[in-house]
Amino acid sequence: MPEHQVRSIPARAPARRARRAERLVVRGALGVLIAGSIAFVVLPILALILQLPVDALPRVFSDPVVVDALLLSLATATVSTAIVLMAMTPIAYVTARYAFPGRELVETLMDLPIVLPPAVAGLGLLLAFGRFGLVGQYLSVFGVSLAFTPVAVVMAQVFVASPFYLRQARTSFAELDPVYEAAARTLGASRLYVFLHVTVPLTIEGLVSGTIMTFARALGEFGATILFAGNLQGRTQTMPLAIYSTMQSDLQASCALALVLVAISFGVIAAVRVTGRRRRAA
């Protein structure tokens, strides 16, 4: 047996030990990173829960500020979501199915609110629809004033939340093979009938998950709302605004509202994951 081969065996042992040590370090570092990241997400939620003793719940949830904010938020987010569904579904379908000049421009403009800072959106809405705004000045001639009303809350929510539904709906429609719609039309179904009885049932998971994301985004809206709708209790003060307002005077009320939003957010993530899984399984 050649000498250099015999010698090479003991020479490998330290290398192997070094590799094992390196693996341990990488695994350890990864573990610490994952644990730290989870803690970073969980700790604030835990802090909210700890701040709110159970015996404080009856008092907090009879506080008019909390109740008003809760009801206003649920009502406006529901109305906003309904408006987004009705206004964006046709746009999503047309941009997914038909090529027309300016389609890319329409898509880009409609997606813009997703990257626009909400404060910018709020200021823009105010300058467009406020009393002296671009459009608002003509509306006020007829005695219509939108800013600082519940309507403004809904407008702010629709503005920032619509792309979440639009994008998902467009993707779902584009992924659907047009052959099913063509088949339905050869059977004598009008375009509207085809849409309601073929297109929607076959894309329903995507449409539902887009709707849930839009509702969640509308519910959490803060920046555009406070600039365009103000912060008037019982009128324009939604949950996120009430959290901000009560934070200094009544921390427990603030935490109660925050935990309601946390619970809804959990529900949203669970719902989106479930519909996503059903879609992949189908």
Residue numbers at the binding site for another protein (CB under 8 A): 177, 179-180, 182-191, 193, 197-198, 201-202
> Closest approach of Cβ 207 to another protein, in Å?
14
Per-residue CA distances from 241 to 51, 65, 86, 233 (Å): 19, 11, 27, 9
The nearer residue to another protein, 1 or 192, going by C-beta atoms, is 192
> Closest approach of Cβ 190 to another protein, in Å?
6
> Closest approach of Cβ 29 to another protein, in Å?
47
The nearer residue to another protein, 154 or 198, going by C-beta atoms, is 198
The nearer residue to another protein, 180 or 244, going by C-beta atoms, is 180
The nearer residue to another protein, 174 or 202, going by C-beta atoms, is 202
> Closest approach of Cβ 103 to another protein, in Å?
20
> Closest approach of Cβ 200 to another protein, in Å?
10
> Closest approach of Cβ 274 to another protein, in Å?
18
- DSSP string of the chain, one letter each residue: --HHHHHHHHHHHHHHHHHHHHHHHHHHHHHHHHHHHHHHHHHHHHHHHHHS-GGGHHHHTT-HHHHHHHHHHHHHHHHHHHHHHHHHHHHHHHHHH---TTHHHHHHHHHGGGTS-HHHHHHHHHHHHSTTSTTHHHHHHTT---TTSHHHHHHHHHHHHHHHHHHHHHHHHHHS-THHHHHHHHTT--HHHHIIIIIHHHHHHHHHHHHHHHHHHHHT--HHHHHHT---TTTT--HHHHHHHHHHH-HHHHHHHHHHHHHHHHHHHHHHHHHHHHHHH-
End-to-end alpha carbon distance in the chain? 63
Q: Are 252 and 56 in contact (CB under 8 A)?
A: yes
Here the tokens at position 229 are: 């709708």
Here the tokens at position 165 are: 């539904």
E-assigned strands of the chain?
Answer: none
The nearer residue to another protein, 174 or 204, going by C-beta atoms, is 204
> Closest approach of Cβ 181 to another protein, in Å?
9
Q: Are 86 and 160 in contact (CB under 8 A)?
A: no
The nearer residue to another protein, 97 or 185, going by C-beta atoms, is 185
The nearer residue to another protein, 191 or 277, going by C-beta atoms, is 191
> Closest approach of Cβ 272 to another protein, in Å?
21
The nearer residue to another protein, 4 or 280, going by C-beta atoms, is 280
